[in-house]
Amino acid sequence: MANHKSAIKKMRQDEARRLRNKAYRTRYKSIVKAVETAIQQRNIDAAKEAFQAAVSMIDRIASKGVIHKNKAARKKSRLAKKVNALSVSS
């Protein structure tokens, strides 16, 4: 356990950040899963709509440092490729 006042405050801040980041990661995973579910069901409109929401969320959490900016770019690229392939095939 921390003994210094500053170390105690740092622990409080770290815990608050951990919980906030956990919430962001959970929402991120859920929204990506929504896109992939729409793609599996071959629902083009729902997939495009979910993709727009996913891109917004991914950009937001990357700017906050929850995920790395390159991971965000890679995830958006792969999702876009899947959504575009769905629209071309139908």
Cα 60 to Cα 67: distance, rounded to the nearest angstrom: 10
- CB distance 47 to 35 below 8 Å: yes
CATH topology of domain 5-89: Methane Monooxygenase Hydroxylase; Chain G, domain 1 (1.20.58)
> The pTM is what?
0.84
Assess whether pLDDT exceeds 90 at residue 2: no
pLDDT (mean) for 75-89: 93
**Taking a C-beta distance cutoff of 8 angstroms, is the pair 85, 41 a contact?**
no
**Stretch 66-88: mean pLDDT:** 95
- Is the CB of residue 35 less than 8 Å from the CB of residue 54? yes
Mind listing the pLDDT tens digit for each residue in 18-65?
A: 999 999 999 999 999 999 999 999 999 999 999 999 999 999 999 999
Q: For residue 4, what pLDDT is reported?
A: 93
Residue spans per domain, the chain: 5-89
